[in-house]
A and B are shown apart, each in its own frame.
Chain A
């Protein structure tokens, strides 16, 4: 478990993280979203010990990191701006990781590289942006670290490879209880892989939740009743959003879907459709409830 308590970090006058508190469960994939400059990368760097926090604590399984190599073996980080040694081929890079990480699976990494058709003997610096990202990810996964931190995880990766990488990540989760934090400014990238999502805004976690709960408890309906109706007709429900065009209303509701469905059917609707919500839509409506405009945050 990662427990972050009252974390503060400033760069000069610029406060990047301010009293940030967050708990990330072991064995989960935590999606951290936020606009550019929200502090996502800074948070990951502080967890990794690359940046020093101004104040606050970060505990991994109840212990502070404190520059200890034993603990550092349990962590791996892929930053947004990737770095590879200038003259290293992918094979050299994999070898580098294998020398540094005690649990690194060399053969598995080679196998992944071959599956992704990454040239092993070509210098990584000559790779495309997406290929570099793939190389970094396979190296990170093969470390078998307990905690993996991926900044802008799928940046530059095409959809097919993205799915493949997600599959690899999922396999890794199955293989070993791993805690992963992924950051992105694009919710769609994370929604089908993350268990939890947190929204970083103005140096703190503005909102975080379990995705399954979010998706189960929030739903969108399109409804048309035989009579004229307004928002008040639904005052017994938790309405997050109500928009009516003509005789059809689109409503975002939060609550027990089965109960709502049963009750709404009793109104003899002309149209009653339950539509799935994307994670982005969930966030938009949640932010609206909190009084924020989502697009200005992410």
Chain B
């Protein structure tokens, strides 16, 4: 049985009379990538802040490696918050060394690690430059470096690709892959469903402070409709008892949800109705469409 890294049980969070989180429970296991999903205001960041002791929970249990989180053991944690920043008036190397020391490294180890990292991201010549003299993209690289200093066993990334340019997004994804291979546990809080589908082992969909879905990605997909059929067609899609239309656009891309029908029965029905079928691919329902179903169209663009 895998070790539980994060344990949340019956977690409540109230701000005044308003309950933002209502009895939330979930676990994150050693070595997995866990997707923590939800629209803006659904309580994701609040949960993480409570988990890390920044907020005092109104009720319930939140633990990291079996104990209430203590900054004194921050060596195990790499946290990239949604609101990001560093000491802008300080030099890159001084800032990185400072955070490295706070994470338990010696100053010489922190500086050596920082120089290696800066070399990797092609910022070695900026080591003695003030942070506010760097471009936004360069500052993001430094921020990422600070997050993964001291090879944390647990990475919590809140909206990790938010505001990142494509270069840094690729860097972040390669770092996630490296940490996964090193056996680290990663929690991703995100709206980017394509990343979740590609990277995450398990997910939790949070809506209005309660878990709307929780489990393996495939289980959640099954829970929200199992297999769907993605097809590219010409002609008008006929109404049928065999399927329900989940998605259709003017270019002929459609997604169909079978009503206890086999894919071959559906394609036969389409052909019989005079529809030209250019492609026909049975697959699990996308998280993107599940997200839209749970949170509504408005949430998709957030």
Q: Are A and B physically bound partners? A: no
* B residues apposed to A, CB below 8 Å: none
